[in-house]
Amino acid sequence: MTNQILLDDEVISKLLKNNLSVHIGKELTLDLLEAITNQILESMNFVSEQNGAHACNLLRLPAVKISSGLPRSTLYLRISQGLWTKPISLGARAVGWPANEISALNAARIAGKSNDEVRDLVKQLEAARKAIEGTNHAQ
């Protein structure tokens, strides 16, 4: 029997703000961390499809850190190395990443892709972004 952990929006918000620095006893169990991560992603409506059209959500840095398991410094190091897509500006002091790009990058790492293969994937993802931008400007 699997234990289900239900968190309300206020708890999720606190966890994100504190970068999941929650401790039970001395450490947070992996099962609990996985349950929290899954609930956060579900509550953010991670990727949704409507009428056959793919709707892509933008994930802010705390959600990207949770999804990838990487700290901020490593994410930005990977961006500089061409191993992660560049963020999209959401305003003067806010950035985000398309959820589908994070999923693709995580899947590549899980599949054991080499750095060169991941760089190629990053180029493809960023080229797809530009193609979407061009389509949106033409309308």
How many domains, the chain?
A: 2
For 76-99, b/e burial (b = at least 16 CB within 10 A) is: eebeeebbbbbbeeeeeeeebbbb
81 and 132, same structural domain? yes
Residue 132, pLDDT score: 75
Residue 25, pLDDT score: 45
Residue 130, pLDDT score: 85
Average pLDDT of every residue of the chain: 75
Tell me the C-alpha distance between 118 and 121, whole Å: 5
Please report whether residue 115 resides in a domain. yes
Residue 129, pLDDT score: 86
Please report whether residue 52 resides in a domain. no
Please report whether residue 19 resides in a domain. yes
Residue whose entry in the numeric block shows the structure tokens 């493809």: 124
| CATH number for position 86 | 1.10.1660
Please report whether residue 106 resides in a domain. yes
Please report whether residue 69 resides in a domain. yes
132 and 98, same structural domain? yes
Pair type for strands 53-56 and 94-98: unpaired
132 and 94, same structural domain? yes
- Low-confidence stretches of the chain (pLDDT beneath 70): 1-55, 133-139
pLDDT tens, position by position, 67-86: 999 999 999 999 999 999 99
Please report whether residue 50 resides in a domain. no
Residue 9, pLDDT score: 58
116 and 78, same structural domain? yes
- Global confidence as pTM: 0.60
102 and 71, same structural domain? yes
Residue 18, pLDDT score: 56
Residue whose entry in the numeric block shows the structure tokens 């949106």: 136
Pair type for strands 94-98 and 58-59: antiparallel
Range of the domain at 39: 1-43
Residue 55, pLDDT score: 47
133 and 71, same structural domain? yes
Residue 51, pLDDT score: 36
Residue whose entry in the numeric block shows the structure tokens 């180029």: 123
